[in-house]
């Protein structure tokens, strides 16, 4: 299967290039082009094998959700010239990620299980079980690291350190909670629960924009709605549509991104399983059949589609 592991395009008027964990980012003057590769990361480490169609799934879900939330906050997206590429407005990025949690799962659960009752300065009540719904959604921000691990940080630390001005940070919180409410509604309409997610924001002048991706399986965790209550009452794990199953597989095989640990072998069967789970989330979330775009000469396809679009700008 021809996947996108990395790109090295040279576009007309290209001013910069940055390779993130999953996306290759091209600066084009006042615009930015993000190519969603098929790389997959967990515990802030890029895993050794690319996952077929993962980039297409991420790009198309993100674009769909960005369009659906423009009435809440302006966003960076201008066009989707290829199933794996998105072009938008270049923004100055705020150096924090706004993580919103509606349920006690993932990292927050692991912290809670260790006895901690505060996550990023937010107090949690005693007596919660894994995957329980929280009394109300909470925001647990992290620093935005270009390399290595993102770190938990509190609202107070963000403001006191000057990472984000107080009025801007309060605006980001307001936007994040409104976006989470919209995402929760959209998920419920398709039989899913939006468990937690992260949002990234930037600005051009005084205008704040939602940037990057939104409500994708890389940035979000979903449960199935129909079995949620039954599973909680019986103490069974929730079936998830997210990247958490990849993290769980890594943990079971002795890897959590710590120094000296080796990533377990990703067999053909494992990469196919992960690919199928990503496609499953797309179909469940959108209610539409996933259309696999041509993957032979995939780099050539992306480059030609992008260049064709850029000529129209």
**Mind listing the pLDDT tens digit for each residue in 105-147?**
989 999 999 999 999 999 999 999 999 999 999 999 999 865 5
Residue 287, domain member (yes or no) = no
Q: What is the pLDDT of residue 242?
A: 76
Assess if residue 108 is contained within a domain: yes
On the question of pLDDT at 1 being above 70, the answer is no
Give pLDDT, residue 192.
94
Asked if the structure places residue 80 within a domain, the reply is no
Rounded to whole angstroms, how far apart are CA atoms 276 and 219? 18
pLDDT > 90 in the chain, percent:
84
Question: Average model confidence (pLDDT) for the chain?
Answer: 93
Distances (CA, A) of 124 to 101, 108, 111, 174, 197: 12, 10, 11, 20, 18
For residue 100, being part of any structural domain is answered with yes
pTM over 0.85: yes
Give domain status of residue 250, yes or no: no
- The pLDDT-based confidence of 37 (bands split at 50, 70, 90) is very high
Three-state DSSP class for residue 254: coil
The whole-number pLDDT of residue 241 equals 78
Answer yes or no: is pLDDT of 172 > 90. Answer: yes
Distance in angstroms (rounded) separating the CA atoms of residues 86 and 110: 34
Is 174 a domain residue?
A: yes
- Supply the CATH number for residue 167's domain: 3.30.470.20
Domain count within the chain: 1
Which tens digits make up the pLDDT trace of 277-288? 889 889 988 889
What range does the domain containing 184 cover? 93-242
Cβ-contact 68, 58 below 8 angstroms: no
In this predicted structure, the answer to whether residue 74 has a pLDDT above a threshold of 80 is yes
Q: Is residue 26 part of a domain?
A: no
Place of tokens 């959108």: 286
**Considering the domain boundaries, does residue 11 fall inside one?**
no
């Amino acid at each position: 299967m021809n996947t996108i592991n990395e790109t090295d395009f040279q576009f007309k008027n290209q001013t910069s290039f940055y390779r993130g964990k999953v996306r290759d980012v091209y600066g084009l003057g006042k615009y930015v082009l993000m190519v969603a590769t098929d790389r997959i990361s967990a515990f802030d480490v890029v895993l050794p094998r690319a996952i077929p169609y993962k980039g297409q799934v991420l790009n198309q879900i993100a674009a769909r959700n960005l369009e659906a939330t423009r009435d809440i906050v302006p966003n960076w997206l201008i066009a989707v010239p290829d199933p794996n590429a998105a072009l938008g407005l270049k923004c100055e990025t705020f150096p924090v990620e706004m993580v919103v949690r509606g349920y006690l799962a993932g990292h927050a659960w692991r912290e809670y299980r260790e006895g901690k009752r505060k996550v990023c300065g937010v107090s949690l009540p005693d007596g919660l079980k894994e995957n329980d719904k929280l009394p109300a959604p909470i925001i647990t921000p992290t620093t935005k690291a270009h390399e290595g691990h993102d770190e938990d940080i509190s609202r107070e630390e963000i403001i006191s350190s000057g990472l984000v001005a107080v009025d801007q940070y309060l605006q980001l919180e307001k936007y994040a909670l409104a976006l989470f409410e919209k995402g929760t509604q959209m998920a419920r309409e398709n039989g899913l629960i939006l468990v937690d997610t992260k949002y990234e924001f930037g600005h051009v002048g005084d205008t704040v924009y939602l940037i990057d991706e939104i409500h994708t399986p890389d940035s979000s965790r979903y449960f199935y709605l129909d079995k949620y209550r039954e599973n909680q009452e019986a103490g069974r794990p929730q079936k998830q549509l997210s990247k958490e199953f990849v993290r769980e597989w890594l943990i079971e095989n002795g890897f959590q991104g710590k120094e000296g640990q080796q990533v377990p072998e990703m067999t053909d069967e494992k990469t196919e399983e992960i690919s199928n789970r990503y496609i499953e989330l797309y179909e469940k979330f959108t209610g539409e059949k996933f259309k696999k775009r041509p993957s032979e000469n995939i780099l050539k396809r992306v480059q030609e589609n992008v260049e064709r679009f850029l000529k129209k700008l």
